Structure 1
Amino acid sequence: MRSLMLAALILPIPLAAQTRSAAAPAISVDTLKSVTQELSSDAYEGRAPTTPAEDKTVAYIVKRFQAAGLKPGNKGLWTQDVPMVEITAGNVAPYVFTGGKAPVSLAYRTDMVAGTYRVAPKSAVANSDVVFVGYGVTAPEQGWDDYAGVDVRGKTVVILINDPDWQTMTREGPFEGRAMTWYGRWPYKFENAAKHGASAAIIVHDTEPAAYPWAVVQSSWTGPQLELDEKGDHLDQSQVIGWMQRPAAERVFASAGKDYAALAASAKVKGFKAVPLGLKMSASFDNSIRRQASKNVIGVLPGTTAPADTVLYTAHWDHLGRCDAVDGDDICNGALDNASGVAGLVALAEAQAKAGPAKRSIAFMAVTAEESGLLGSRYYAEHPIYPLARTVGGVNMDGLNIIGPAKDFVLVGAGKSEIEDLAKPFVTAQGRVIGTEANPERGSYYRSDHFSFAKLGVPMLDGGSGEDLVTGGTAAGHAAREDYVAHRYHKPQDQYDANWNWSGAVQDLTIYYGLGRKLADDTGLWPNWYKTAEFRAIRDRDRAGAK
């Protein structure tokens, strides 16, 4: 789950844009409570894909979809197989850096974590030259290449998290200033390192630019790791990928006789040149490999007059499963993240079915392996049941508002698609206003399942309650958000609480309902990306082909 969307600056909508939609069937709070409580109970062991807990999770979601009134969404089946390969690192040796003033050994879990995308029984690098490549960005459109003039084939690259301009407090800059772009996300950095032939790629963790503490990295990067099972076994990827804490990186740089802070500062400037550190790095671990299909769960409310056109609602059902224990608890239950989103999916299915079929089909999809890199949604987007060219758009839900009603509604990644404009009247109808993201540096737009569809041209709404709570205002909203990130996000403490306030979730779900119904009933609507959006060209091409 990427961080929930929150707001700081409130932007009013002109009165002329305010319209009120027809009354929707009530969103069931009982459904929200019962589904969230069930899926986040210890009986589901944290809902890790390809474990016995998956079978129980999938069966429960199918049962709730059936009871809601949906039909099987995959040619008579409730599920879509997603081929997975599970890689579990064992016998993980410390990262060892030699050749400097003194050897530096980084301990697994506390100083560093390690993994690989490669499906191979062992991962190792030995005495690999170490190169600092700044933010690891290759952006031709900006004339920016952190790999320019250096050959990193067979070497270890050390990379900073986020974008070079992340400390700019506005959204102005080559990489959108404070807002994180795709270049700032860790999957991009590992992908780009592999393209340049690096044998190992290590990202330096720093809490502010990463937008989450080391405990999140530790829990997410230890234990079984999943990847799509594809031809070639990902052997084009680096042997070793991983993270190290900033204090550990500072020790490594000091051993090389380098000032970490000075080099990090130099990486923010266009024209930065990669810096060989004069060190050698060694790392190794064994991999146990297991191939097994996971499942996306799909139900549909077939359309009446335009059933080949589809509106999508999505939420991921998976979480981290068994994780590093905190106070003796080793189950990451994932109540907010994302049992609550699946509960919202079921509640919306109930409401849409109660209202009766729309002109277009409405599909409800609980996807797998979001926590492993959006794998379930990525697989669906690349192997769609409903052609993407005939997919109108939709809504993704990754964590509902359980802290109370908010005065504002935040559009994550605002300024990208026309679906935002279609949502705004439903926000105004509730007497709420549109806010902006409080923490755009967290890169929320690129951290949940809507991104898998966006990359292939389908506009999906990613939005929800901001920080300006009806009770307590922005101070209370911000405090609640930060408390969750610090103490529960990706930890065993993300557990169901009977005292949660679901009224804000009902507000947001009512907006999602209205937007989905409008998209499904107005057959002339084909929302597109704005002309400046990076996904516009593929949408134009697909729609032209569909016509």
Structure 2
Amino acid sequence: MKRAFALRAAAMLGALTLGACDAAFPGMDSAETALDIPDIESGELSEETMKTVTKTLSQDSFEGRMPGTEGESKTVAYLTERFEAAGLEPGNGDSWVQDVPLVEITGRDFAPLTITGGDSALAYEYGPEWVGVTYREEAATQIAGSEMVFVGYGINAPERGWNDYEGIDVTGKTVVILVNDPDWETPGLTGTFGGKAMTYYGRWTYKYEEAARQGAAAALIVHDTEPASYGWNVVESSWSGPQAYPQYGDNPPPRTRMNGWVQKDVAREILAAAGEDLDSLSQAAKQEDFEAVELGLKASTSFSSDSRSFSSRNVIGILPGSEAADEYVIHTAHWDHLGRCTPAPDGDDICNGAVDNATGTAALVALAEAHAKAGAPRRSLVFLAVTAEESGLLGAYYYASNPVFPLDRTVGGINMDAFLMAGPAKDVTVVGPGKSQLDTFLEAALESDGRVATPNPSPEAGYYYRSDHFAFAKQGVPMLYIDGGEDLIDGGREAGEAVAEDYRANRYHGPKDEYDENWDWSGVMADLDLYYRIGRTLAMSTSWPNWNEGDEFRAVRDESCSASDAGC
């Protein structure tokens, strides 16, 4: 049993330590000491459930769980069955699902990307050298003689005194953009864009959005493995084949005609044709006074697209609370994966997504079972399996914009995305520590395990902006995102880093992310027990944890909570 008072003090100190390590923030709120953190025993969690659900969802017959396919139908039916058997009730009135309107666009017949205006024409093959997609529901996409402009990191951030588009009109042009933030190579976590830690400005989603707002016809991001945090194989697999997007309706946001990526060596050759050097321009782009460079080159390509509108589905189950049933603690995980993708050398083209994220989806089921067996907690527990995470967190964004349970009555929650089978660890990895008072609940649970929280070892990868919790955070709901630890009991950090690197290099977003009968589940089950105790503590608590004072999401939460007498 935990000693609540002592743990609160230790937890607050731990959370302060974490904040200094992973992201710049002003510090913990003084209200931290008032948090109600009840004593919670471990749950009755089933390893067999974890194995069965993970194995089932990653079978070839589920075809990689692509939204809008037969694989989705099988996934939704299976999760509905498992949620009901676990003891949950339908989470959307009398329905287990929430429809998410999407459009699927599949490009085909790609012409080479050709560059003219230099001493000789350059041509690049789709797939190995460049990839491109359109967000527009048009049968044909053509980029014809579009003037090219190098815009550095493609950032327009007035609050940081930064605008890579200042003084240049890119309307109808093709912009070439560097991945990540200008200060990604800076040691430590201080700087205009958080130093080593990627901000949202470093994410490809932002760069395409800003290019569209600036009127660009096309946007090409220069791939570089280290600042992107993944190899070209991930880009090629993720950006080829069917792509799902929101149905924008009659008033869509600005969109380019094409968004894409080019290999770093391709970009180097293109810039050389303009008499420029990629390395020199990349260094110049790190400075606040950088000015975009018109390259004197023109880009051309074309491709056809097949479009279809459809509704995908979030799956929602609820365990109603015993006293405060209108207050909600949420658990999220995405059920989708990439479907069929770039084949492996053996011809296998099904991206099964066993780790990413059949494991997280299985965790929803196992946690639901354990909480139901323990009986209804004070607050309601929501289990949300979201769709289209791989397409840009679309299911999570749709729920956060159209919540079944009011966000100002949602206490907070835990997101689960990809459990690596590394064995037991002395720690857990916290993505985005120091951001909210949920750190105190985490530290209290860790203390009883004799484990510690390690800040994300790769803040430059921008993981905080790459999973479903981010959609809720943008709406002000405090969310924890925790990965397995890397300080393994057997082998320490060197062994943990090796497991993570092997997965990134050989299985992540590829056909070999498959279920393995020989996996060691002991570390996963220890982490799952941690999530159980955090979730149940939140559900038994009377406190409403908030973002720390000065955090980017604090104002949104405060406004949401003050909008009505019943809120927060």
TM-score (norm 1): 0.95
Aligned to 2:551: 533
Asked whether the 8 Å contact 2:429–2:482 carries over to 1, the reply is: yes
CA distance in 1, matches of 2:291, 2:43: 59
Pair 1:63 & 2:81 matched = yes
Asked whether the 8 Å contact 1:119–1:233 carries over to 2, the reply is: no
Aligned to 1:204: 222
CA distance in 1, matches of 2:373, 2:107: 48
Point out where structure 2 has 5 or more consecutive residues left out of the alignment: 1-17, 23-32
- Tell which deviates more after alignment, 267-276 or 413-422: 413-422
Pair 1:331 & 2:350 matched = yes
1:531 offset after TM fit, Å? Answer: 1.7
- Tell which deviates more after alignment, 113-122 or 335-344: 113-122
Q: Given the alignment, which residue of 415, 434, 438 partners 1:396? A: 415
SS in 1 for 2:65: coil
Asked whether the 8 Å contact 1:394–1:460 carries over to 2, the reply is: yes
1:236 offset after TM fit, Å? Answer: 2.3
Asked whether the 8 Å contact 1:344–1:400 carries over to 2, the reply is: no
Aligned to 2:7: none
What is the 5 A alignment of 1:380-459?
380-459=399-478
Residue type matched to 2:88 in 1?
L
Give the direction of change, closer, same or farther, for the CA distance of 1:115–1:10 in structure 2 (3 Å limit): closer
Asked whether the 8 Å contact 1:20–1:426 carries over to 2, the reply is: no
Asked whether the 8 Å contact 2:40–2:537 carries over to 1, the reply is: no
Aligned to 2:323: 305
Aligned to 2:94: 76
CA distance in 2, matches of 1:124, 1:421: 53
Q: Deviations over 1:192-229 (max 9, x none)?
A: 00010001000000000000000000000000000011
Give the direction of change, closer, same or farther, for the CA distance of 1:265–1:10 in structure 2 (3 Å limit): closer
Aligned to 1:96: 114
CA distance in 2, matches of 1:546, 1:307: 18
CA distance in 1, matches of 2:452, 2:240: 41
1:233 offset after TM fit, Å? Answer: 7.2
- Tell which deviates more after alignment, 437-446 or 225-234: 225-234
Residue type matched to 2:483 in 1?
G
Asked whether the 8 Å contact 2:152–2:178 carries over to 1, the reply is: yes
Aligned to 1:493: 512
Asked whether the 8 Å contact 1:411–1:420 carries over to 2, the reply is: no
Q: Deviations over 1:500-521 (max 9, x none)?
A: 1111111111111111111111
1:308 offset after TM fit, Å? Answer: 1.1
1:10 offset after TM fit, Å? Answer: 9.5
SS in 2 for 1:532: coil
CA distance in 1, matches of 2:348, 2:424: 31
Residue type matched to 2:347 in 1?
G
CA distance in 2, matches of 1:394, 1:415: 16
Q: Deviations over 1:30-78 (max 9, x none)?
A: 0110000010011111100001111001001111101100000000100
Asked whether the 8 Å contact 2:110–2:303 carries over to 1, the reply is: yes
Pair 1:163 & 2:163 matched = no
Asked whether the 8 Å contact 2:334–2:357 carries over to 1, the reply is: yes
Pair 1:289 & 2:307 matched = yes
Aligned to 1:142: 160
Aligned to 1:509: 528
Q: Given the alignment, which residue of 37, 50, 53 partners 1:32? A: 50
CA distance in 1, matches of 2:147, 2:272: 16
The share of aligned pairs that are identical, in percent, is 53
Aligned to 1:113: 131
CA distance in 1, matches of 2:317, 2:564: 24
- Tell which deviates more after alignment, 394-403 or 130-139: 394-403
SS in 1 for 2:503: helix
Aligned to 1:342: 361
1:234 offset after TM fit, Å? Answer: 4.0
CA distance in 2, matches of 1:34, 1:446: 30
Asked whether the 8 Å contact 1:118–1:235 carries over to 2, the reply is: no
Report how many residues are paired: 534
CA distance in 1, matches of 2:426, 2:247: 44
Aligned to 2:169: 151
CA distance in 2, matches of 1:53, 1:279: 44
Residue type matched to 1:421 in 2?
T
CA distance in 2, matches of 1:83, 1:172: 40
SS in 2 for 1:45: helix
- Tell which deviates more after alignment, 346-355 or 411-420: 411-420
SS in 2 for 1:506: helix
1:232 offset after TM fit, Å? Answer: 3.1
SS in 2 for 1:393: strand
Asked whether the 8 Å contact 2:99–2:311 carries over to 1, the reply is: yes
Q: Deviations over 1:308-348 (max 9, x none)?
A: 11110010000001111102101000000000001111000
- Tell which deviates more after alignment, 376-385 or 524-533: 524-533
Residue type matched to 2:540 in 1?
D
CA distance in 1, matches of 2:564, 2:248: 28
Q: Deviations over 1:349-368 (max 9, x none)?
A: 00110111112111101100
1:24 offset after TM fit, Å? Answer: 2.2
1:20 offset after TM fit, Å? Answer: 9.1
1:378 offset after TM fit, Å? Answer: 0.5
SS in 1 for 2:350: strand
1:235 offset after TM fit, Å? Answer: 6.6
CA distance in 2, matches of 1:58, 1:29: 22
CA distance in 1, matches of 2:88, 2:531: 18
SS in 1 for 2:342: strand
CA distance in 2, matches of 1:383, 1:325: 37
CA distance in 2, matches of 1:368, 1:307: 26
Point out where structure 1 has 5 or more consecutive residues left out of the alignment: 1-6
- Report the aligned-residue RMSD: 1.6
Q: Given the alignment, which residue of 128, 151, 155 partners 1:133? A: 151
CA distance in 1, matches of 2:446, 2:340: 39
CA distance in 2, matches of 1:58, 1:373: 20
Q: Deviations over 1:96-127 (max 9, x none)?
A: 11011211111100100010111222222211
CA distance in 1, matches of 2:213, 2:140: 21
Residue type matched to 1:513 in 2?
Y
Aligned to 1:3: none
Asked whether the 8 Å contact 2:43–2:533 carries over to 1, the reply is: no
Residue type matched to 1:355 in 2?
A
Residue type matched to 2:348 in 1?
D
Asked whether the 8 Å contact 2:63–2:352 carries over to 1, the reply is: yes
CA distance in 2, matches of 1:123, 1:459: 41
